[in-house]
Amino acid sequence: MSEKKKGPYKQTGNIAVDMVAACINHYEKQGRKVAYIRLDFIHWTMFKGYVLEQIPAYDLSNGEIEFDDVIVTQGSSLQVKPLYHELVADGKPKVYLMN
């Protein structure tokens, strides 16, 4: 599942896959890259099911799926939103402000 698709994504009908693809596309259009995406339990199950349907021999032993060079994994059981993401650090120093 790691080969990068060219052009816009075509919707799959699987809401979890389409959410992940939309997140990746959104930041790609801004010139940024997503490093990790964490899905809640229901969406992780749907995403994992789609991957195993497409590639039955896919190795899920480490609990991660590489999708267009982005690591997709199951989030915390306390996760409220369906999708959390982290962007790749751009190498710029971070400035922390204190009150």
Q: What is the pTM of this model?
A: 0.80
What is each CA distance from 59 to 1, 21, 37, 56, 67, in whole angstroms?
11, 21, 18, 9, 13
Mutual orientation of helices 41-54 and 15-29 as an angle, nearest 10°?
90
CA distance 91 to 53: 38
* Residue listed under structure tokens 């990746």: 24
51-72, pLDDT tens digit by residue?
999 999 999 989 999 998 999 9
| Domain layout of the chain by residue ranges | 15-87
Question: What pLDDT is attached to residue 9?
Answer: 73
